[in-house]
Amino acid sequence: MADISIRNLVKTYPGNTEPATKNISLHVEDGEFMVLLGPSGCGKTTLLRMIAGLELPDAGAISIGGRDMTYLPPNRRNLSMVFQSYAVFPHRRVRQNIGFGLMTRKMPKDEIARKVAWAAELLQLTPYLDRYPAQLSGGQRQRVAVARAIVVDADVLLMDEPLSNLDALLRLNFRAELKKIVEHIGTTTVYVTHDQVEALSLGDRVAVMEAGKIAQLGHPMEVYDRPADTFVGGFIGSPPMNFLDGQVADGRIIFGEGASIPAPAAVPPGPIRIGIRAEAISIAAHRPDLVPAVVDVVEPLGAATLLTVKVADQSLKVQIPPSQRVSSGETVFLHFAPDSVRLYDPQTGLGLLASV
Amino acid sequence: MSTLAPSRTEQSDDVPVDLRPLRRLKRNRLLLQLACVAVSLFMVVPFYLIAVAAFSSPAAMNEFPLRFLPTAFSVETMSTFLSSTGVGAGLINSLIVAVGTLALSLVVGAPAGYAIARYVFKGRDQYQLFLLFTRALPIVVLSVPLAELFLNVGMYDTPLAVVLLHTALTLPTTILVTASVFLAVPVDVEEAARIFGCGPLGAFGRVVLPLALPGISAASIFTFVLSWNEVLGATILTLNQRTLPATVLSSLSDSPLTFRFAGGFFLIVPALIFIAVMRKYLINMWGTTIR
Ligand SMILES: Nc1ncnc2c1ncn2[C@@H]1O[C@H](COP(=O)(O)OP(=O)(O)OP(=O)(O)O)[C@@H](O)[C@H]1O
Ligand SMILES: [Mg+2]
Domain boundary among A202, A235, A268: A235
Minimal-distance CA residue of chain B relative to A148? B196
- In Å, what is the CA distance from A339 to each residue of A290, A355, B75? 16, 9, 103
Contacts of A101 in chain B (CB under 8 A): 196-197
Alpha carbon distance A161, A192 (integer Å): 5
Residue A233 pLDDT exceeds 50: yes
The pLDDT value recorded for residue B70 is: 67
A127 and A66 both lie in a single domain? yes
- Answer whether B197 sits within 8 Å of A90, measured CB to CB: no
ipTM rounded to 2 decimals: 0.84
Atom of ligand 1 nearest to the CA of A192: 22
The pLDDT value recorded for residue B287 is: 44
A286 and A206 both lie in a single domain? no
Q: How far is the CA of B136 from the centre of ligand 1 (A)?
A: 42
Residue B201: φ, ψ to 5°: -70, -40
A54 and A71 both lie in a single domain? yes
Segment A21-30, tens digit of pLDDT: 999 999 999 9
Residue A281 pLDDT exceeds 90: yes
Instruction: Calculate how close chain A gets to B202, using CA atoms only, in Å.
Output: 9
The pLDDT value recorded for residue B87 is: 81
Q: How far is the CA of A160 from the centre of ligand 2 (A)?
A: 7
Best residue for ligand 1 mutational test, from A42, A85, A163 (most atoms within 8 Å of Cβ):
A42
Interface probe with B: pick from A75, A84, A105, most Cβ of B within 10 Å: A75
Classify residue A229 by its DSSP letter: B
The pLDDT value recorded for residue B277 is: 78
Alpha helices in A207-268 (DSSP H): 220-225, 230-235
Check CB contact of A118 with chain B, cutoff 8 Å. Answer: no
A81 and A27 both lie in a single domain? yes
The pLDDT value recorded for residue A205 is: 95
Residue A73: φ, ψ to 5°: -65, 155
- Answer whether B189 sits within 8 Å of A81, measured CB to CB: no
A48 and A109 both lie in a single domain? yes
- Answer whether A87 sits within 8 Å of B191, measured CB to CB: yes
Instruction: Calculate how close chain B gets to A80, using CA atoms only, in Å.
Output: 6
Best residue for ligand 1 mutational test, from A9, A10, A13, A193 (most atoms within 8 Å of Cβ):
A13
Give the DSSP H or E segment for B245: helix B244-250
- Answer whether B188 sits within 8 Å of A101, measured CB to CB: no
A250 and A102 both lie in a single domain? no
A271 and A207 both lie in a single domain? no
Q: Identify whether the C-beta of residue A50 lies closer than 8 Å to the C-beta of residue A62.
A: yes
Angle at B58 between CA B53 and CA B62, to 5 degrees: 80
The pLDDT value recorded for residue B79 is: 80
Q: At what angle do helices A138-151 and A94-104 cross, to 10 degrees?
A: 20
Q: Identify whether the C-beta of residue A160 lies closer than 8 Å to the C-beta of residue A82.
A: yes
A212 and A280 both lie in a single domain? no
Closest CB from A83, A104, A132 relative to B197: A104
In chain B, where the domains are located: 4-54, 85-290
Nearest CA-CA partner of B103 in B150, B175, B163: B163
Atom of ligand 1 nearest to the CA of A46: 18
Closest CB from B120, B198, B211 relative to A104: B198
Q: Identify whether the C-beta of residue A277 lies closer than 8 Å to the C-beta of residue A242.
A: yes
Give the DSSP H or E segment for A143: helix A138-151
- Answer whether B188 sits within 8 Å of A152, measured CB to CB: no
- Answer whether A134 sits within 8 Å of B192, measured CB to CB: no
Taking residues A177-205, what's their average pLDDT?
89
Alpha carbon distance A40, A194 (integer Å): 7
Closest CB from A52, A105, A134 relative to B287: A134
Q: How confident is the model at residue A170 (pLDDT cuts 50, 70, 90)?
A: confident
Give the residue whose CA is nearest to atom 29 of ligand 1.
Answer: A41
Which residues, in sequence order, are CB contacts of A137 under 8 Å at separation 6+? none
Instruction: Return the exposure string of B162-171: e unless at least 16 CB atoms fall within 10 Å of the residue's CB, then b.
Output: bbbbbbbbbb
Which residue type occupies A290? Answer: L
Alpha carbon distance A52, A81 (integer Å): 8
Assess whether the C-beta atom of A17 lies below 6 angstroms from ligand 1: no
Least confident of A5-19, A29-43, B263-277: B263-277
Domain boundary among A235, A267, A283: A235
Q: How confident is the model at residue A243 (pLDDT cuts 50, 70, 90)?
A: very high
The pLDDT value recorded for residue A1 is: 60
Which residue type occupies B72? Answer: A
Assess whether the C-beta atom of A208 lies below 6 angstroms from ligand 1: no
Assess whether the C-beta atom of A51 lies below 6 angstroms from ligand 1: no
Domain boundary among A189, A220, A235: A235
The pLDDT value recorded for residue B242 is: 86
- Answer whether B195 sits within 8 Å of A75, measured CB to CB: yes
CATH code where residue A282 lies: 2.40.50.140
Minimal-distance CA residue of chain A relative to B197? A75
Check CB contact of A75 with chain B, cutoff 8 Å. Answer: yes
Assess whether the C-beta atom of A196 lies below 6 angstroms from ligand 1: no
Number of domains in chain A: 2
- Which structural domain range is residue A116 located in? 4-235
The pLDDT value recorded for residue B291 is: 35
Q: Hey, which CATH number is domain B85-290, 1.10.3720.10, 3.65.10.10, 3.40.50.300, 3.30.1300.10? A: 1.10.3720.10
Q: Average model confidence (pLDDT) for chain A?
A: 90
Segment A306-332, tens digit of pLDDT: 999 999 889 999 999 999 888 899 999
The pLDDT value recorded for residue B240 is: 84
Alpha helices in A10-93 (DSSP H): 44-52
A224 and A294 both lie in a single domain? no
Alpha carbon distance B51, B63 (integer Å): 17
A25 and A173 both lie in a single domain? yes
A198 and A169 both lie in a single domain? yes
> pLDDT per position in chain B (291 positions), as tens?
445 555 555 556 788 889 999 999 999 999 999 999 999 999 888 888 888 888 877 777 666 666 667 666 777 777 877 777 778 888 889 999 999 999 999 999 999 999 999 888 888 888 888 888 877 888 888 888 888 899 999 888 888 999 999 999 899 889 988 998 899 899 999 999 999 999 999 999 999 999 998 888 888 888 988 898 888 888 888 888 888 888 888 777 777 777 788 888 888 887 788 878 777 666 655 444 433
Q: How far is the CA of A45 from the centre of ligand 1 (A)?
A: 7
Q: Is the pTM of this model over 0.90?
A: no
